[in-house]
Amino acid sequence: MINTLRITGLLVVVFAVLVVGSVLGFVPFLKGDAAGDEQAREVLSSPGAVERFKTQHGGKVSATKDRTPPLVQQAQLLAGILNPPVPQPRPVNPPKTNSTRISRRDVPRIAKFDLVGTSYLAAASDPWWQRPCPRAGS
């Protein structure tokens, strides 16, 4: 176990020396080749996304689009929800009188069920755990 740790530690130290040396330029181990450098220079010298957009659109902004930022639009929508406009009062139409309408008092009431009984709980406002428990014998 100790030998494994010693070997691993030695390998970590060697790898760290290689990485630091390649970063500082002492060891040309991790550097790219000359063809890769030329390709990198070509890519870096080409116009970026912003320059291509400006050449394609000429820096013009469409007149049909709203120039209000989206955050301001959302804030205005939220302000409309929080502070709704005052509704306009509706004109009140007089109620129509219908002489053919039958009042409810004129219709006879007929029960469609047989009444068996009624019940009444005196302490209906008490919670169920405070009500007295019914006993089987009483």
Mean pLDDT by 10 residues, the chain (138 residues): 93 91 68 68 89 82 74 94 88 73 70 79 65 63
Q: What is the pLDDT of residue 109?
A: 76
pLDDT at 40: 81
Contact between 37 and 45 under an 8 Å Cβ cutoff? The reply is: no
Q: What is the pLDDT of residue 89?
A: 87
pLDDT of residue 108: 75
**pLDDT at residue 119, rounded to an integer:** 74
Query: What pLDDT shows up at residue 126?
Result: 66
Given a contact cutoff of 8 angstroms between Cβ atoms, the answer to whether 64 and 55 are in contact is: no
Structure tokens at 22: 């390649």
What is d(CA 54, CA 60) in angstroms, rounded to the nearest whole number?
Answer: 8
